[in-house]
Structure 1
């Protein structure tokens, strides 16, 4: 299987539109929640505030922000992940 074949398979794994969870993690003492919210608002115009939750790690050092969004396309998801991953406060984006 070539990388192009693999990429084409990835594009067909989801049927759009769909509900999709996005998770970003960063230091609990940072503005990670606000950063994730700002990034998502740029890409998801009808983002529901109730769809965003946070959870601290057991030691309290990390904060996970999870948003269940209505994803319209793979391009939209790719753009969100690129921007989250590029931000200095985001340690992981899943």
Structure 2
């Protein structure tokens, strides 16, 4: 087994699937932000409930963070949802 394969297996083994996995999505306070995030998250986790989304405004209310706890079923699913959220024009950062 080569060193890259070992690193990949170790990285994948840090999370046991399926599991509940929180995603924190940051963006500017603007109309449609929560709906846009919800659409992306639902695409990757159709069972995600909008009512479970937690929203917090920044001190000056210029930015908002949304916490979406999805049911993660694989590393590929997590990578895909992270990538799509990061690529979205309304999203500033995803943790």
Q: Cα RMSD between the aligned structures? A: 1.6
The answer to whether the 8 Å contact 1:19/1:68 transfers is yes
Show structure 2 runs of 5+ residues with no match: none
Moved more, 84-93 or 3-12: 3-12
Show structure 1 runs of 5+ residues with no match: none
| 1:41 to 2:42 alignment | yes
- Number of equivalent positions: 94
Corresponding residue SS for 2:91? coil
CA deviation map 1:41-93 (0-9, x unaligned): 10001112232111100111101011111111111000000000001110001
The alignment's TM-score, normalised by the length of structure 1, stands at 0.90
In structure 2, how many angstroms separate the alpha carbons of the residues matched to 1:49 and 1:29? Answer: 18
In structure 1, how many angstroms separate the alpha carbons of the residues matched to 2:6 and 2:60? Answer: 42
The alignment's TM-score, normalised by the length of structure 2, stands at 0.90
Following superposition of structure 1 onto structure 2, how do residues 3-14 of structure 1 map, counting pairs within 5 Å?
Answer: 3-14=4-15
